[in-house]
Amino acid sequence: MSNDDDLDDLLDELDSQGDLETSQQVLSIRTESRRYNKPVTIIEGFDLSKSELKSTASELKSSLGTGGTVGDNRIELQGDHRDRVPDLLRERGFDVRE
């Protein structure tokens, strides 16, 4: 029985070291113009699992009342949200470079 506990402890330790802590992830925020000159806010620099990234994107979209998508370790939000996104990310423990 103790052998299983040792294995679980080791797996937990390895898992905790796999991703950077959110405070160590330095994110950059920029905007691009897309089709019909519509702005898109792009947040890059995440080191999260796909599910954590989707969860973070979902929280941001809900807070901002906008749509968006996730891909290539980045979040894209419809519209120009450079003024509000840094504070929302800092509230979640991220380091944001402006």
pLDDT tens figures, 19-50: 556 667 789 999 999 989 999 999 999 988 89
- pLDDT for residue 1: 47
Q: Average per-residue pLDDT in the chain? A: 85
- pLDDT for residue 3: 59
- pLDDT for residue 23: 65
SS3 9: helix
Instruction: Give the C-alpha separation, 37 to 60, whole Å.
Output: 22
Indicate the helix (H) or strand (E) that contains 71. Answer: strand 68-71
For residues 60 and 77, the answer to whether their CB atoms sit within 8 Å is yes
The pTM score is 0.76
- pLDDT for residue 21: 67
Q: In what order do the strands lie in the sheet with 95-97?
A: 68-71, 74-78, 39-44, 26-33, 95-97
